[in-house]
Amino acid sequence: MERCSWCLCNEKMTRYHDQEWGVPLHDDRKQFEFLMMEVMQCGLNWNMMIQKREIFRRCFDDFDYDRIAEYGEEEIARILNEEGMIRSRRKVEAVISNARCFQAVRREYGSFSEYIWKFSGGKTILYAGHQKGKIVAKNALSDQVSRDLKKRGFKYLGSITVYSHLQACGIINDHLEDCFRYREIVDNYPTVRRRKE
C-alpha cells in the first residue's frame, strides 16, 4: 500500500497519516486538538508533536476547550511542570487564550467546524499539482483564514500554521496521487478542483 513519504519515519506518524491526516473533520473537539497541536509545534517539527500527543492530552484535559478556557495560574504551573511537556509559557497561554476565542466562534457560528468549512464552501479542495508533490507552505486561502483568526484574537496561527491545519482537517487534500488515502478522500467526500496556488 502506497503512502505519502513524510509519514514513514515511525509507527505513530504512519497511524496518524492513515487514520486522521487529510480526512474531512467536522468534530469541534478534534478541530481544537489539531489547531492547538499546531500552536505547540511552532518552531519545532510535527513528528515531535505526534510523539508528545498523549502528554498534551493529559495537560489540556483531552483538549476540552470549555475547561481550558477557565484555566488560570495554577493550571499553567501544572502544565509547565509536566514531564515531557514543551515548557513554553507563551504557547501554553496561547492555548488558553485560543480556547476562549474558539468558544466565541462557536457562539457565533454554532460550531467551529461550520465556521472553518465555510472558507471552502464545505468541500475538500484539490489544488492542481499538489497531488504530484508540488505542495506549498501557504496560499491565498491560508492567508485569508489566518487573517480572520487573528482578527478574532487567535494567537500563533500564521498562514503557514493555518495551511498545515487545513491539510490536517481535510479542507485541502494534499495526499500524493499514489497514496491510498488520496483516492479514498476523493471518492467519499465532496471535492472541488482549483488551479494551483
Structure-block grid coordinates of residue 43:
518552531
Annotated active-site residue 16? The verdict is: yes
Which own/partner contact pairs does 9-18 have at CB distance under 8 Å and 24+ positions apart? 9/47, 10/47, 12/50, 12/51, 12/53, 13/46, 13/47, 13/50, 16/50, 17/181, 18/181
Annotated active-site residue 6? The verdict is: no
The catalytic residue among 20, 46, 93, 114 is 46
The catalytic residue among 21, 33, 38, 163 is 38
Phi, psi of 18 (to 5 degrees): -70, -35
For residues 16 and 18, give the distance between their C-alpha atoms in angstroms, rounded to a whole number.
Answer: 6
Determine which helix (DSSP H) or strand (DSSP E) holds 58, and give its type and residue range.
helix 53-59
Q: Is the dihedral of CA 53, 40, 67, 105 positive or negative?
A: negative
Residues involved in catalysis? 16, 38, 46
